[in-house]
């Protein structure tokens, strides 16, 4: 997919995309950089690989990049990232809350450790990041925050109660933060991807993959670039009057 436009939609903007070492987050970071944004990448592991990824993105699109490593469930780590962002760029215009973990289990099989980890990362982590990002954005009275939820968060799914609950919480976070931050010039929206071709999906049994793909009205599995296109819109001034919205990106997936 061609992302370039003249002038770039996000020239002069600074962005952070959590969980951007691969998959949907990587595609979103790439789309933002292609449209002129300086982009801070984030990953949980492998600082050297993330630094190399950031350097490659900077070289390809001529933007500034940063590599931030750590766990979104750790408030101290999150605080440190935003201190780095402020020291380096003095601003943040776009925040994409994408980092997450997906662990499935039937209700009776969900362990306390699993429940804690999924909620700590997907829900608490998103709140930690949004809090810190909003503080930086309101200094300049502008910004776009994008929470990546899931079709499971809007419709639920058997065997995914814990994950669905963690992602459904982002809906309330999005709607509430949008109302709170709108007077300060900060927009907050969410994207709810459906069945997207990522490492998580490829790890599913082939029969499960085929069943889910057959339920998509558009007849194809989504790509990370499909989700990135929605994020690019929400990040840009094309969505200047859009806040408090949850946009599905699922190809008409039937529940």
Query: Residue with structure tokens 């499960």?
Result: 208
Q: What are phi and psi of 71, to 5 degrees?
A: -100, 125
Residue 160: which of 198, 126, 122 has the closest Cα?
122
Tokens describing residue 39: 């982009």
Which residues are bridge partners to 216 per DSSP? 253
Question: Active-site residues: which are they?
Answer: 163
Query: Within 13 A of 61's CA, how many CA atoms are on the CB side?
Result: 27
Tokens describing residue 153: 């968060």
Q: Are 119 and 166 in contact (CB under 8 A)?
A: yes
For 95, residues 6+ apart whose C-beta sits below 8 A from its C-beta are 15, 16, 129, 130, 133, 137, 143, 144, 145, 146
Tokens describing residue 79: 């605080």
Residue 244: which of 184, 195, 187 has the closest Cα?
187
Cα gap 32→227, rounded to integer Å: 12
Cα gap 174→44, rounded to integer Å: 24
Q: What are phi and psi of 32, to 5 degrees?
A: -65, -45
């Amino acid at each position: 997919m061609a992302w370039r436009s003249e002038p770039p939609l996000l020239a002069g903007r600074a962005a952070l995309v959590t969980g951007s070492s691969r998959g949907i987050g990587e595609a979103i970071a790439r789309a933002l950089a292609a449209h002129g944004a300086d982009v801070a990448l984030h990953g949980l592991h492998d600082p050297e690989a993330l630094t190399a990824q950031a350097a490659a993105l900077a070289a390809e699109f001529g933007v500034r990049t940063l590599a931030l490593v750590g766990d979104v469930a750790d408030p101290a780590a999150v605080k440190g990232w935003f201190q780095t962002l402020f020291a380096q760029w003095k601003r943040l215009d776009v925040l994409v809350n994408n980092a997450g973990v997906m662990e499935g289990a039937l209700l009776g099989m969900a362990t306390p450790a699993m429940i804690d980890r999924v909620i700590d990362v997907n829900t608490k982590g998103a709140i930690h990041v949004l809090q810190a990002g909003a503080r930086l954005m309101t200094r300049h009275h502008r910004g776009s925050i994008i929470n990546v939820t899931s079709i499971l968060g809007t419709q639920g799914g058997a065997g995914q109660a814990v994950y669905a609950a963690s992602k459904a919480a982002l809906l309330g976070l999005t709607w509430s933060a949008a109302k709170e931050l709108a007077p300060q010039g900060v927009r907050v929206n969410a994207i709810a991807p459906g069945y997207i071709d990522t490492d998580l999906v490829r790890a599913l049994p082939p029969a499960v993959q085929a069943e889910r793909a057959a339920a998509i009205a558009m007849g194809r599995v989504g790509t990370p670039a499909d989700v990135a296109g929605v994020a690019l819109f929400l990040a840009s001034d094309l969505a200047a009057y859009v806040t408090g919205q949850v946009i599905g990106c699922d190809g008409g997936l039937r529940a």
